[in-house]
Amino acid sequence: MTISDPSALPSRVTGYADARAVLDQPLLVPEPAADPADTPAGSLAWLRATVARFTGDGQTHARRRAHAVEDLAALDPRDLRQAAAGSAVGADDRHTVVRVLAEQLGLPEPDAVAAAVLTVSAGYFGSALTPAQGRAADEAVSRLLALTAREDDPRPPEAAAQRIGLLVQACDATARLVEHARRAAPDGLPPGGADALLAEVLRQDPPVTALRRRALADVRVGALDLRAGDVVLIDVTAAEPDAPAECTPLAFGAGPHHCPGRAQAMALAAGLLERDDPARQITEAVARVLDLAATWTAWDGRPLAVDGRVYTPHKAIRRVADHLVDHLAELEARLAGQEPQPDHWHASATTTPADLAPFTAEDLDEARSRLVRLDGIWADRLRALSDAQLDRSPGRGWSFRLLAAHVAGSLDYYAGAVGRLGATTDLFRKEQS
């Protein structure tokens, strides 16, 4: 096992394989908090003692973690990404992350939730607080319990603590991930977009640089012999570059205590990075549509069922173009001080005879010309708007920044309904028939 000094405590692990061995060992857990029976109910100490993050006992940890996972299941990463991409510029990223999560969880007063979470986060991981900070954190926990409680929730009170813990743990870590990504790409997103940038940042400059684990009992991990109470420090920055490309970054942990909200955190971070250039969101979404459409000449003529509707290549292109036209017309009308004209699209509810036609190379070429031109109009218009116009847009409806995020997400949805076609798809269909 790669450690800096086997005789020192805590032992410092610097190799990826060794780090995984430590994280996968159930007897090595994050620093446990105090027994909740010894803490005032509704205080910061009670929260730390009740969340899964600081629970050492395996059975109790699994039960508490299940509550957090249940809440996470209600958070679609696509919705989080769109909401973050459409959020107003200028706000603290930590506040935005929590507010978006609170909105998506259906919590009341999301801005109040975010403010309370920022207060709690100062001492959540064990940092020393002044008496005044401690009182403020206790009051914030009590406030969060009131804001996150649900009368119809059949789960025990500790479930509310997991919901608060989810919000607090997302707060700083996600914002730091975005900060590191902006530092790595000060001139804007690289050609691979937000996802590629975040993947590289997690390997080279992760937001979490160290993970501590304490032994619950005597245990041997690789060449490391630990006594109960011994601490192991995993150097994430040193270990990440050794990780195989397909492995999950250590910043989200691994093993029984790995972060269950990785997909949601990555979606929020990507959305925040994309928010600063809404025109690029449209351009990249159109590029993704055309990348998939390039495979649609292999379509076998059978419509694909998605979410209670059916889609074909022509129908997907139709819906993509209609969506671009519809919301562009809305944007222009609002800028002109007019009420947007209601649309009368039959949309995805109708599949026309033209939708069922073969999708040829000529159709692909026509689609490319049409969509690239529409993208150009969107890009020119959005880049001509100020941040104030994007975030405090005239007329009724979403802000133009959120509108752009919605359009980009919708294009991905329609194109994704058909997906990438080819030999693999044909083989799958034959196996299913």
Strand locations in 175-308 (E): 210-215, 219-221, 224-226, 231-235, 304-306
Pair of tokens at residue 128: 């020393």
| One-letter amino acid for residue 372 of the chain | V
Kindly report the pTM of this predicted structure. 0.83
Phi, psi of 252 (to 5 degrees): -95, 10
User: Tokens 């978006």 label which residue?
Assistant: 100
HSE-up of residue 376 (Cα within 13 Å, Cβ side): 6
| Average pLDDT of the segment spanning 402-417 | 94
What is the percent of the chain with per-residue pLDDT over 70, rounded to a whole number? 93
Q: Give 90-104 pLDDT, tens digit per residue.
A: 889 999 999 999 999
Pair of tokens at residue 432: 């299913």
Q: Is 291 exposed, middle or buried (0-12, 13-18, 19+ CB in 10 A)?
A: exposed
Q: Give 311-354 pLDDT, tens digit per residue.
A: 999 999 999 999 999 999 999 999 999 999 887 777 788 999 99
Whether the CB-CB separation of 173 and 207 falls below 8 Å is answered with yes
| Average pLDDT of the segment spanning 270-280 | 93
| Average pLDDT of the segment spanning 194-200 | 92
Is 263 or 432 the better-scoring residue by pLDDT? 263
Whether the CB-CB separation of 119 and 136 falls below 8 Å is answered with yes
**Gap between the terminal Cα atoms of the chain:** 51
Interatomic CA distance for residues 375 and 290, integer angstroms:
12
Pair of tokens at residue 136: 């403020």
User: Tokens 């109790």 label which residue?
Assistant: 60
Is 329 or 429 the better-scoring residue by pLDDT? 329
